[in-house]
Structure 1
Amino acid sequence: MGGPGHGEFPIFEFLSEGRTSEGSVCCGGAGFACLPSPGRTEVRSRIPPLLAGPGMAENRRSGPQATALIYDEDMTRVRLLWDDPECAIEGPERLTATYARLCHRGLAQRCVRLPAREATEEELGLVHSPEYVAVVKGTQTMSTEELRTLAQQYDAVYFHPSTFPCARMAVGATLQLVDAVLTGAVGNGMALVRPPGHHSQRDAANGFCVFNNVAIAAEHAKRRHGLQRVLIVDWDIHHGQGTQGVFENDPSVLYFSWHRYEHQSFWPRLRESDYDVVGQGPGRGFTVNVPWNKVGMKNADYVSVFLHVLLPLAIEFDPELVLVSAGFDSGIGDPEGQMQATPECFAHLTLLLLPLARGRLCAVLEGGYHLQCLAECVCLTLQTLLGDPVPALSGDPAPCLSSLESIQNVRAAHAPHWASLRHEDTGPILTPSTWCGDGGPPLLGAQSVGTTERRGTLLDKLLSCPPPPPHTGIGLAVPDSTSSLNLPPALLQEEGVIVSKEEAEMWSRLDSASTQDQALAALGKLLALLDKILTGQVRAGIAVSPAVSAAMAVALRKGLTGGAQRLLCVAVGELDIPEDLRDNGRILLLNIGGKEQSEAAASRTHICLGGHEATEPGTFLLALTSLILPVAYSFRPDLVLIVLGPDCGLRNLDVELLTRLLQGPVAGQMLLLLQNPDLPLVEALAWALEGRALPSTLGPFLSASPKQALAITRLCRQRRLDWPMLQVSVT
Structure 2
Amino acid sequence: MGTALVYHEDMMATRLLWDNSECKIECPERLAAALGSLRQCGLEQRCLHLAAREATEAELGLVHSPEYVALVRRTQTLGTEELQALSGQFDAVYFHPSTFHCARLAVGAVLQLVDAVLTGGSNNGLALVRPPGHHSQRAAANGFCVFNNVAIAAEHAKRKHGLHRVLIVDWDIHHGQGIQYIFEDDPSVLYFSWHRYEHGRFWPFLPESDADTVGQGQGRGFTVNLPWNQVGMGNADYLAAFLHVLLPLAFEFDPELVLISAGFDSATGDPEGQMQATPECFAHLTQLLQVLAGGRVCAVLEGGYHLESLAQSVCMTVRSLLGDPVPVLLGPMAPCQSALESIQNVRAAQAPHWKSLQQQDMAPVLSPSTHSPEGRPLLPLPGDPVCKAEAEVASLSFLLDQQHFHPTPPVRMAVALTAPDTALSLSPDVLRQEGSAPKWETEAWARPHESLAQDEALTALGKLLYLLNGILDGKVSSGVASTPAPAAAATLHVAIRRGLSLGAQRVFCVVLGELDRPLDLPDDGRILWLNIRGKEVVTLSMFHVSMPLPGTTGGFLSCVLGLVLPMAYGFQPDLVLVALGPDHRLQDPQAALLAGVLRVPAGGRVLVLLEEESAPELARALAQALNGEALPSLRPFSTASPEDLQALRSLRAQLQPRWEMLRVAASEPVQRRGDSEPSGSELLLEPPSGPPTPGVPRRQFLGASAPPAPRPAHQ
Match of 2:588 in 1: 652
2:637 to 701, 708, 712: 701
Match for 1:169: what amino acid? L
Match of 1:462 in 2: 396
Q: In percent, how many aligned pairs have the same letter?
A: 59
Contact 1:261 1:293 in 2 (8 A): yes
Contact 1:156 1:208 in 2 (8 A): yes
1:548 maps to 2:485 = no
1:427 maps to 2:364 = yes
Match for 1:588: what amino acid? L
2:446 to 504, 527, 531: 504
Contact 2:409 2:475 in 1 (8 A): no
2:170 to 231, 234, 245: 234
- How far 1:582 moved relative to its partner? 7.2
Match of 1:23 in 2: none
2:470 to 509, 532, 537: 532
Distance 2:258 2:659 in 1: 30
Unaligned 5+ runs, structure 1: 1-64, 438-446
Per-residue CA distance 1:662-720 (angstroms, 9 max, x = gap): 111111111100013421222222222221122x3332212110111121122112101
User: Scaled by the length of structure 2, what TM-score is found?
Assistant: 0.88
| Counterparts in 2 of 1:435 and 1:556: CA distance versus 1, 3 Å | closer
Distance 1:116 1:495 in 2: 46
User: Any residues of structure 2 matched to 1:490-501 within 5 Å, and which?
Assistant: 490=429, 491-497=431-437, 498-500=439-441, 501=443
SS of the residue corresponding to residue 664 of structure 1 reads coil
1:487 maps to 2:421 = no
Distance 1:139 1:405 in 2: 45
Contact 2:199 2:229 in 1 (8 A): yes
Match of 1:711 in 2: 647
Contact 1:79 1:92 in 2 (8 A): yes
Distance 2:237 2:281 in 1: 10
- How far 1:469 moved relative to its partner? 3.0
Pairwise CA RMSD: 1.8
Contact 2:551 2:640 in 1 (8 A): no
- How far 1:198 moved relative to its partner? 0.3
| Counterparts in 2 of 1:523 and 1:99: CA distance versus 1, 3 Å | same
- How far 1:623 moved relative to its partner? 0.2
Contact 1:263 1:435 in 2 (8 A): no
1:569 maps to 2:509 = yes
SS of the residue corresponding to residue 528 of structure 2 reads strand
Distance 1:433 1:472 in 2: 52
SS of the residue corresponding to residue 642 of structure 1 reads strand
SS of the residue corresponding to residue 199 of structure 2 reads coil
- How far 1:496 moved relative to its partner? 1.8
| Counterparts in 2 of 1:586 and 1:85: CA distance versus 1, 3 Å | same
Contact 1:616 1:650 in 2 (8 A): no
User: Any residues of structure 2 matched to 1:631-646 within 5 Å, and which?
Assistant: 631-646=567-582
Distance 1:449 1:142 in 2: 39
Match for 1:402: what amino acid? S
Per-residue CA distance 1:105-131 (angstroms, 9 max, x = gap): 000010000000111111111111111
Match for 1:393: what amino acid? L
| Counterparts in 2 of 1:206 and 1:231: CA distance versus 1, 3 Å | same
Contact 1:391 1:469 in 2 (8 A): no
1:475 maps to 2:414 = yes
Per-residue CA distance 1:14-67 (angstroms, 9 max, x = gap): xxxxxxxxxxxxxxxxxxxxxxxxxxxxxxxxxxxxxxxxxxxxxxxxxxx510
2:269 to 333, 347, 354: 333
Distance 1:169 1:690 in 2: 34
- How far 1:595 moved relative to its partner? 4.4
Stretch deviating more after TM superposition (666-675 or 517-526): 517-526
SS of the residue corresponding to residue 420 of structure 1 reads helix
Match for 1:549: what amino acid? A
Contact 1:71 1:116 in 2 (8 A): yes
Stretch deviating more after TM superposition (265-274 or 614-623): 614-623
Distance 1:104 1:483 in 2: 42
Match of 1:125 in 2: 61
SS of the residue corresponding to residue 75 of structure 2 reads helix
Match of 2:712 in 1: none
Distance 1:484 1:582 in 2: 41
Contact 1:572 1:648 in 2 (8 A): yes
SS of the residue corresponding to residue 704 of structure 1 reads coil
Stretch deviating more after TM superposition (536-545 or 630-639): 536-545
Per-residue CA distance 1:326-352 (angstroms, 9 max, x = gap): 000000000000000000000000011
Unaligned 5+ runs, structure 2: 375-380, 668-715
Contact 2:552 2:639 in 1 (8 A): no
Match for 2:154: what amino acid? A
Match for 2:292: what amino acid? L
Match of 2:562 in 1: 626
- How many matched pairs? 649
SS of the residue corresponding to residue 55 of structure 2 reads coil
Stretch deviating more after TM superposition (102-111 or 470-479): 470-479
1:153 maps to 2:89 = yes
Match for 2:448: what amino acid? M
Contact 1:582 1:605 in 2 (8 A): no
SS of the residue corresponding to residue 568 of structure 1 reads strand
| Counterparts in 2 of 1:464 and 1:192: CA distance versus 1, 3 Å | same
Match of 1:267 in 2: 203
1:680 maps to 2:617 = yes
1:307 maps to 2:243 = yes
User: Any residues of structure 2 matched to 1:152-301 within 5 Å, and which?
Assistant: 152-301=88-237
| Counterparts in 2 of 1:451 and 1:363: CA distance versus 1, 3 Å | farther
Distance 2:446 2:284 in 1: 40
1:384 to 313, 316, 320: 320
1:523 to 461, 467, 477: 461
Contact 1:285 1:417 in 2 (8 A): yes
Per-residue CA distance 1:304-345 (angstroms, 9 max, x = gap): 100000000000000000000000000000000000000000
Per-residue CA distance 1:171-205 (angstroms, 9 max, x = gap): 11110100111111111000000000000001100
SS of the residue corresponding to residue 100 of structure 2 reads helix
Match of 1:316 in 2: 252
Distance 1:155 1:618 in 2: 43
Match for 2:364: what amino acid? G
Distance 2:615 2:408 in 1: 29
- How far 1:360 moved relative to its partner? 0.4
Match for 1:454: what amino acid? K
Contact 1:229 1:319 in 2 (8 A): yes
Match for 1:692: what amino acid? E
Contact 2:436 2:464 in 1 (8 A): yes
Contact 1:173 1:193 in 2 (8 A): yes
Match of 2:72 in 1: 136
Match of 2:707 in 1: none
SS of the residue corresponding to residue 581 of structure 1 reads coil
Per-residue CA distance 1:513-572 (angstroms, 9 max, x = gap): xx7111111122122222222222322211101121221112112222221111000001
Contact 2:553 2:634 in 1 (8 A): no
Distance 1:494 1:588 in 2: 31
Distance 1:637 1:646 in 2: 25
Match for 2:623: what amino acid? A
Match for 2:621: what amino acid? A
- How far 1:472 moved relative to its partner? 2.8
Distance 2:184 2:446 in 1: 64
